[in-house]
Amino acid sequence: MDAVNPATGERIATYEADSQADVEAALARADDAFEAWRERPLREREELLAVAGDVLRENEREYARLMTEEMGKPISQAVSEVEKCAWVCDHYAEHASAYLQPEGHPSPPGADVQTVYEPLGPVLAVMPWNFPFWQVFRFAAPYLTAGNVGLLKHASNVPGCARAIADVFEEAGYPDGVFQTLLVGSDAVDDVLADDRVRAATLTGSGPAGRAVASTAGQELKKTVLELGGSDPFVVLDDADLDEAAETGAWARNLNGGQSCIAAKRFVVHADVYDEFVERFVDEVDSLTVGDPTDEETEVGPQASADLLADLHEQVRASVEAGATVLTGGEPMDREGAFYPPTVLADVPEGCPADSEELFGPVAAVFEVDDEAEAVEKANDTAFGLGASVWTADRERGRRVARDIDAGCTYVNQLVKSDPRVPFGGVGVSGYGRELSEPGIKEFVNRKTLWVE
């Protein structure tokens, strides 16, 4: 597997892919490790997770540099990602015991009835390149602490990150086999998932990848959690603080080069403030610093590969041909590397890519609506249902509109984000299941009824 720097096109390193024999050995280690790990006291598992958080902090610059080199994330955002991974370790190190506390139920005199939470076994995690550390720790922190063991199949363009994450758990003192990285291609996923020793799977990625994993897991009757794509609406109502909405919206669309499932993608703006918002929004987008991702001042780096840039530009080109207007950006940048400028499209026709598809890059589509009801209708005019953001000076109005939008997580006067303290996930073609908080740690456990007479 080659790791290629998208800012320069240069090959950073080459990693030897795991053979079929390597995968078989990893599965055997995971199976063996689970039997002892599940019996390890929960408090000890929490303590090890706290150490993993310490390891992340001690090496944050090294891990951040690796992310920047392999997928182009601006270095300041990469440092923040490592810090967030340490945070999720801290969270479950502190709260796992409370989350997994047995729950009592009404029972007849002389009986004690509880639900207890027991781990399932080895869990396969198929993870993407866009947040190469966070996506992994988002599953590993709760699932391992609940007593499961993890097998990571990471994206093929971030093999160094995949290896580094395995090193974090090893350095923290986790037993051999509790967390392992499989350096394999996507064609190996079905066989691993079908193996009897693998008990469940979680995937963050594209719709086709999610359907493939869900299909195989369904045939094998194995639990899955899927976090797939999104086309999140960013609704600006007529009483919104336009300066704050424009500033936050520009960041919500272009963070991580726009390569985020929960990025704001469709800006749905009330007609009474449309012109003023769009002017401010374009100014904010134009003010973003695009450049070398190793520079601390850079806000938008390259796309993760030249192929991804080409796919994004084809969606923009098709949308413009259909009638969309480019307000800023719209063409690949004339410089070395896979750089695409922050772009804003207006007058977006119904059914064109900018309207109906996920644009996984720094391209915002702006839509004008006449009233609140039409704003909700446009926000829900998508097969996706991951997140949504609503902007208004009236908190109760915001709460009402947010409740009417079909999404797994809705935010009022805030960008959509994942946070260890609250559940995260989507509906529709954005997937199912929840990560983080208490629901996240309980996705891959046996909720066993224990009746003692």
* Same domain flag for 21 and 8: yes
Strand bridging mode 223-227 / 200-204: parallel
* Same domain flag for 21 and 139: yes
* Same domain flag for 32 and 181: yes
Three-state DSSP class for residue 107: coil
* Same domain flag for 60 and 28: yes
Torsion sign over Cα 179, 182, 188, 189: positive
Whether residue 420 lies inside any domain: the answer is no
d(Cα 372, Cα 176) in Å, to the nearest integer?
56
Q: Which of 89, 261, 352, 409 is catalytic?
A: 261
* Same domain flag for 191 and 43: yes
The answer to whether 105 and 112 have CB atoms below 8 angstroms apart is no
Residue 330's contacts (CB-CB under 8 Å, 6 or more residues apart) are: 316, 320, 341, 343, 345
The answer to whether 104 and 187 have CB atoms below 8 angstroms apart is no
Whether residue 421 lies inside any domain: the answer is no
* Same domain flag for 127 and 237: no
The answer to whether 253 and 329 have CB atoms below 8 angstroms apart is no
Q: Is position 261 annotated as part of the catalytic site?
A: yes
* Same domain flag for 91 and 161: yes
The answer to whether 242 and 252 have CB atoms below 8 angstroms apart is no
d(Cα 393, Cα 370) in Å, to the nearest integer?
18
* Same domain flag for 236 and 347: yes
The answer to whether 97 and 440 have CB atoms below 8 angstroms apart is no
Strand bridging mode 363-369 / 264-270: parallel
Q: Is position 227 annotated as part of the catalytic site?
A: yes
Quick one: which of 280, 275, 264, 279 has its CA closest to 405?
264
- What CATH number does the domain containing 377 carry? 3.40.309.10
Residue 193 belongs to domain spanning: 2-227+428-452
Count of domains forming the chain? 2
Whether residue 123 lies inside any domain: the answer is yes
Whether residue 160 lies inside any domain: the answer is yes
The answer to whether 190 and 43 have CB atoms below 8 angstroms apart is no
* Same domain flag for 182 and 315: no
- What CATH number does the domain containing 8 carry? 3.40.605.10
* Same domain flag for 184 and 71: yes
Whether residue 212 lies inside any domain: the answer is yes
Whether residue 187 lies inside any domain: the answer is yes
Whether residue 417 lies inside any domain: the answer is no
Q: Which two tokens stand for residue 36?
A: 């002892």
Quick one: which of 355, 402, 358 has its CA closest to 376?
402
* Same domain flag for 205 and 244: no
Whether residue 183 lies inside any domain: the answer is yes
* Same domain flag for 207 and 189: yes
**DSSP string of 406-443, one letter each residue:** -SSEEEESS-----TTS-B---GGGEES-BSHHHHHTT
Instruction: Please count the CA atoms within 13 angstroms of the CA of 408 that sit on its side-chain side.
Output: 28
Q: Which of 227, 284, 357, 435 is catalytic?
A: 227
pLDDT in tens, the chain (453 residues): 999 999 999 999 999 999 999 999 999 999 999 999 999 999 999 999 999 999 999 999 999 999 999 999 999 999 999 999 999 999 999 999 999 999 999 999 999 999 999 999 999 999 999 999 999 999 999 999 999 999 999 999 999 999 999 999 999 999 999 999 999 999 999 999 999 999 999 999 999 999 999 999 999 999 999 999 999 999 999 999 999 999 999 999 999 999 999 999 999 999 999 999 999 999 999 999 999 999 999 999 999 999 999 999 999 999 999 999 999 999 999 999 999 999 999 999 999 999 999 999 999 999 999 999 999 999 999 999 999 999 999 999 999 999 999 999 999 999 999 999 999 999 999 999 999 999 999 999 999 999 999
d(Cα 337, Cα 235) in Å, to the nearest integer?
33
Write the CA distances from 101 to 58, 424, 441, integer angstroms: 32, 21, 12
